Structure 1
Amino acid sequence: MKIFETERLTLRLQTTDDADFILALMNDPSWLQFIGDRGVKTVEEACEYIVNGPLRMYEQFGFCFYLVERKDDQIPLGLCGFAKRESLEDVDIGFAFLPKYWGKGYAYEAASATLAYGIDILGLNRIVAITTQDNEASAKLLEKIGLKFERLVQLSNDAEELRLFSFNFF
């Protein structure tokens, strides 16, 4: 199901048909370094992740991490969307793209449109984002779409302190 489009991209719900792509993305060295190993090592585990992660979150909250694909050829590029984490008070925007699609403006296009969707359609008053302290590229993109560094935080399931960025609408 399509959620929204930008000039070059479609953001839609993930389906189990996306399992091969999700498996590749979640095992890319950049994902493992900056997001972490989610233990998804097979296509079957990728299907379980899609059903029990993004699709369940969409059913519960009306948002999730959407699959980002190019409009012209439907090639999946990455993920972008929102999460509601137990250890964060606010809704969290996030994104991840395969490295071969970095530097082409796709992440900026998807993230800025997702932020606007959160404000205009979902009616969110505050959106946050988290990054590892060494993830400069994501931090720059968050700042480019209007989020500001707020403080370091430690999530309940993580020993590492993360950078928290926020965007307030009130």
Structure 2
Amino acid sequence: MPNVLETERLILSEFTTADAAFVLELLNDPTWLQNIGDRGVRTLDDARAYIKNGPISSYKRFGLGLYLVRLKEGNIPVGVCGLLKREVLEDFDIGYALLPRYTGMGYAQEAAAGVVRHARHTLGLARIVAFTLPGNPGSIRVLEKLGMKYEGTMQLTPDADVCNLYVLEL
């Protein structure tokens, strides 16, 4: 797939089903399960279905979605970052996650800043939102460094955890 955007150290590109092994690893990582939730992806077939029904479906429907984040050096997949359109939100929201061995190096911040620039300059969006669990200080720092402002709490679904909601006017 063609690259969607590049930053100094990263390449963000559309997912393909060939990325299933990486998705299987990421979605079953304890930090993903704790901070994002269990998506029920347990096999490579589940991962391929997740890619088709999630990111690929979003690209077709909205022209954007979650992208695979790879290091330029070595072409190594490290995480996901992109924009999501959820039925319960009026705005697109930015999401990101990295495998733990790649956290603490500024990659989430760099990828998210690239997505914000893309949202503003290429997609022409006027506003994006984000949400994170109150107990996820790393994610909160990323959002604040992006210039997002805390706007309160919300639940995406009635049975979901209460999340902090952040907003960025582009």
Structure 1 position 158, deviation (Å): 3.6
Q: Distance in 1 between matches of 2:54 and 2:38?
A: 15
Q: Distance in 2 between matches of 1:157 and 1:64?
A: 24
Aligned residue for 1:129?
A: 130
Q: Distance in 1 between matches of 2:75 and 2:160?
A: 38
Aligned residue for 2:3?
A: 2
Over the aligned positions, Cα root-mean-square deviation in angstroms equals 0.9
Runs of at least 5 residues in structure 1 that lack an aligned partner in the other structure: none
Aligned residue for 1:45?
A: 46
How many residues align structurally?
Answer: 169
Runs of at least 5 residues in structure 2 that lack an aligned partner in the other structure: none
Q: How does 1:155-166 map to 2 (within 5 A)?
A: 155-156=156-157, 158-166=159-167
Structure 1 position 160, deviation (Å): 1.5
Structure 1 position 25, deviation (Å): 0.3
TM-score (norm 1): 0.97
1:107 aligns with 2:108: yes
Aligned residue for 2:58?
A: 57
Q: Distance in 1 between matches of 2:160 and 2:8?
A: 39
Q: Distance in 2 between matches of 1:154 and 1:79?
A: 22
1:58-99 CA distance string (max 9 Å, x none): 110011000000112110000000000011111000100000
TM-score (norm 2): 0.97
Q: Which runs of 4+ in 1 moved over 4 A?
A: none
Q: How does 1:10-49 map to 2 (within 5 A)?
A: 10-49=11-50
Q: Distance in 2 between matches of 1:31 and 1:131?
A: 12
1:108-164 CA distance string (max 9 Å, x none): 110111111101101111100011121111011100011111010111254321111
